[in-house]
Structure formats: C-alpha cells, structure tokens
Structure 1
Amino acid sequence: MKNYDIIFFDLDDTLFDFPKSEQEAFTKVFNQYNIVDNLNLYKQSYREISRKLWSDLEKGKMSIDKLGSERFRRLFLEHELEMDAVVFNQDYLKLLGEQSPLIQGTEKVMRELSHKRLAVITNGFTEVQTSRINNSPLKDTFEHLITSETTGFQKPQTEIFDFAFRQLQITNKSNVLMVGDSLTSDIQGGVNYGIDTCWYNPNDKENRTSLKPTYEINNLESLLEIIK
C-alpha cells in the first residue's frame, strides 16, 4: 500500500460501462431517425470505424472535434445512407450524455476514497462526460474533469497531464496515481509523465506491450488494497 493523495481516473470502461452506454445511445438515435432495419450490421461497422478513429486520436492523427462526425460520415458512406453526419453525431452525443451505467464497485470505491483528491482525465467529449457524471451517483465526486476537447491534447500526450497538474496545482508526482483500462492511453500516458499507474483489466487481457503498469487489478475494489 502507498499513500497516494491524488488519483486520476479514466471514465469509459474504467468507471462507466461504455459498451452499454454506446449501445443504448446508438439504438435510440437510429430509432429517432426511423432507421430500424440492419441495425446490428450498422453497429458492427460503427464499432470498427470508431475503434480505428479513437486509435488515430491517441496517435495524434485525428482531432476530437473531427472524430465525432467522421465516424458517422464513414458509416453512412459504407452503407449508402444519405444523412447529415454532423447533425446525426450531435443527436447521438446528446443521447450518449444521458447514459451513465457504472462499472460494478465504482460507487463503493469512490465512497471509500472520498477523503482523497479525485479527478478525471478523459479523451472523451466534454459536454458528454459532464452530463454523464452529473446524471450519475458520481456527481460532486471529482475535483476536476480534464478532457482532450478542453485541453487540445489527449492521453497519452504529456501535455494533457501538464494541464491536469496545473489545474490541481500538483508539484509532487510521487503521490499521484493514474487509473485506467487502456494500456495505450491511460498507462502509456502515466508512464510517459512519470507517475504511477494502475491498469484496470477486468477481462484479464494479455499485456502484449512493453509497458509495465505499477499495478494491475481485475476489479475496481482491489484499488482500495493499493491505496493507503
């Protein structure tokens, strides 16, 4: 156990059940446009397109502003759907902001760590993540919400951590922990910045990278065993 005073959390797939949120919002937005046929096919294509674009975002090849509409532009092009990708994305994001199912154990962990300084660093959209937090039991939990959209940088870039450290006026890296599910985003970002990391790996995925997280857990409540 170590006395971490400040804990940065990722949101999607770490505290929020993103696949469930995405599925609900995706289904609702297509129903809103009265498109119900081939929905499973569209979902599969969308996930593949979205995965590639989020990877490009981490690598600095895609901006968060462009990513939103670009995923639907590519989807509509692939399936010959004549719709405005920009407007459709706006409608989707509004619905996504209403979805806030939590990963099991999240509420307990946040309650047990309420005496610590807690903040979020996410590559997600500011308005969506703000809405999801405010619509969940996590409202008023975090000192700051730092997003790639606000900062102009994304994990694993060091600049987004620079911004977070300035916001929280942190001067000592040794008592800071980054918790997240993504090796290439959360863990790589923490390693790049020289802070301890905790890889949340609920499905016990094999680490095929050269990265070595400080800790690895497969359920959130195990975090309480790490933090003094």
Structure 2
Amino acid sequence: MNWQIHRRLEPIRILSFDLDDTLYANAPVMAHAEQYLVDYLADKAPALADITVAQWRELRQQVAAENAELASDMSALRRATFVQELKRRGVAQVETLADEAMAAFFVVRNQVDIEQDIHTLLGKLAEKYTLIAISNGNADIHRIGIGDYFTAAVRPGPGVRGKPFTDMFELAAEKIQLEHPRHMLHIGDHPVSDVQGALRFGAQALWYNSPFKPAEGVPAVTWLPHASIQNIQALRALL
C-alpha cells in the first residue's frame, strides 16, 4: 500500500499543493537554471566570473543562516545574496543588475516538464476539490503549464513569509474564503515546511515521501501528519 493514515482525516474541501519536488523533480530544473544564472552574471559582471554554482549556494546558505525569514523566501534570499556579493566586489548598478539577473533566472527556472500522469491526477482532483498551490519556491503555475487546475497560488513576498510560517496559508484562506483551516489538506514533500506549516495553521497535513530528494536531503518527520504517501498517484485512492 502506498499510503498510511496516522490521524483521523476530517472532511476535505480544499487541497493545497507544494510544487517543487512534489509535482515534479526540481533538482534538474534548478541545476540548469543556476548554471544559466552563473553564466549570465559572469557575462554582465566579469568580476563575478570566478563564482561557481556551488559557491553561490554557500553564499545563500550564509545569508539564510543570518535571517530566518529570508530563508523561507527563495526569491528574496537569492536576490539578497546577489546584492550582498555584488556590493562586496564593487560592481556598479547593483540593484539594477540584481533585478535583471532575477528576471533572467525566472524564465529558465520555469522551464519545467510536467508528466502527463500529473496533469491527469490534478484534473481528476480538481473535479472534486478546490486546488491551490502554496510553495516557498518561485515556480509559476501558469508558466509551468498547470494553472488551469488551480484556483489560487501563493508564494512568499513582501510581508508574506514562507512555510513553515503560516502567512501563506492565511493569505490563501483569504483568497478562497476558507471557512475553517481543517477543511484544507496540504500536500507536500518537506516535513518542516509543509507538515509543520500546515499543522501550525490548523489545516490537515499529508507528507509525500517524494523520490525527488533535494541534494541536501530532508529532515526527519517530527510532527505527525494526518497521512503519508509513497507515490503521488496514491492520492486518487486515499481521497
């Protein structure tokens, strides 16, 4: 069996989905996008030509360690890392270059191939439930081709912290006029961002033990979700 119930599931009206490493493998997407970005920055600012993808990741981790709120907003974290390093190296027009680099990155970052079985799954679920996307990443549901299945999508931004803070869940609830958090089931691959974030909000949580593990791995599950699945297609049987 590809799913387990850990706590009693209450009636569900809303399904909220994480995106990266839940609906598709994000590692190859990011590997391509980050290398593109390194090449772009080296072309625009030769002073940065010696910084590798791995070194940019290390710099991001340093910035994230200094600011928990930035750590939950990948777009803001990436931009802040650019700005810090550009300033440190004396590059001119820091803000403009950072904005241009982020715009270029977003184009490549959203070049995601969604498997047909995911399209089929989302289409079936959308017939019964209201679907929303709640992701700490910067994938755009319309650019990656799944926007038609979702009623709303929420990402971190000014005044809106990423998961496991509850800000995005609260914003999503406003968008869809959610009567009570318990009517929502959040589905995601991360035991902290997704499971703890949903439970803190008062929603039900489903942990997807995704095969698409990020390079740094994932932490252990320490908060008990309502259910867990080993295969995303198990949602059809579970729900």
- Percent identity, please: 21
Across the two proteins, how many residue pairs are aligned to each other?
Answer: 219
Runs of 5+ consecutive residues of structure 2 not aligned to the other structure: 44-48
Letter of the structure 1 residue corresponding to residue 198 of structure 2: G
Match of 1:149, SS? coil
Is structure 2 residue 156 aligned with structure 1 residue 148? Answer: yes
| TM-score, with length taken from structure 2 | 0.73
Distance in 1 (alpha carbons) for counterparts of 2:218 and 2:41: 40
| Cα deviation 1:86-131 (Å, max 9, x = unaligned) | 1463244333344123368422320220211000112234xxx33x
User: Displacement, 1:179?
Assistant: 0.7
Equivalent position to 1:13, from 12, 18, 21: 21
Is structure 2 residue 131 aligned with structure 1 residue 123? Answer: no
Distance in 1 (alpha carbons) for counterparts of 2:173 and 2:236: 23
Is structure 2 residue 107 aligned with structure 1 residue 99? Answer: no
Alignment of 1:24-103 (within 5 A): 24-33=32-41, 42-51=52-61, 53=63, 59-60=68-69, 64=73, 66-73=76-83, 84=94, 86-87=98-99, 89-102=101-114
Is structure 2 residue 235 aligned with structure 1 residue 223? Answer: yes
User: Displacement, 1:55?
Assistant: 6.8
| Cα deviation 1:183-207 (Å, max 9, x = unaligned) | 1211111111121111112248786
Which sits farther off after the overlay, 9-18 or 104-113? Answer: 104-113
Letter of the structure 2 residue corresponding to residue 224 of structure 1: R
Letter of the structure 1 residue corresponding to residue 175 of structure 2: Q
Equivalent position to 1:182, from 181, 190, 195: 190
1:198 is aligned to 206
Aligned-residue CA RMSD in angstroms? 3.5
| Cα deviation 1:124-179 (Å, max 9, x = unaligned) | 34xxx33xx22333131110111211652221122322221111111133331001
Is structure 2 residue 166 aligned with structure 1 residue 158? Answer: yes
Which sits farther off after the overlay, 145-154 or 188-197? Answer: 145-154
- Larger RCO, structures 1/2 (Cα 8 Å, 6+ apart): 2
